[in-house]
Amino acid sequence: MWVVRWILWVLLLLFVIYFGAENSSQTVRINFIKWQSKELQLWIVMYLSFGAGMLVWLFASIYKVLQSKNEIRKLNKENLTLKKELDNLRNISIEEESSELNELEGEI
């Protein structure tokens, strides 16, 4: 299965290189608010846009992972508290029964 995945990645990379080479003669100018760039080749702008999108995705994913880890930590803490409470409730009934048996043995 890993061979098929690597073949698909190589084909995708070859397509991207081909696409960049085909558009290498076209130039564009970026206008952002009041800033204007010099003439850039289209494939450079596309790769920079892709890279910026990947960075935004990376930071959003890191935030989501940290948020999930925090929630897991809280749930584990609550789980531990509930386990201790359950153990205490189980032990209460054992202690009451043992005290009742001690009282009965004392009467005999």
**What is the tens place of the pLDDT at every residue in 15-74?**
877 777 776 788 889 888 888 989 988 878 877 887 888 889 889 989 999 999 999 999
Contact (CB, 8 A) for 38 and 27:
no
pTM, full prediction: 0.56
Beta strand residue intervals within the chain, DSSP E: 27-28, 31-32, 35-36, 40-41
Between 7 and 80, the higher pLDDT residue: 80
Does an H or E element contain 23, and which? none
d(CA 34, CA 37): 10
Q: What is the largest CA-CA distance in the chain?
A: 106
Where do the domains of the chain lie?
A: 2-107
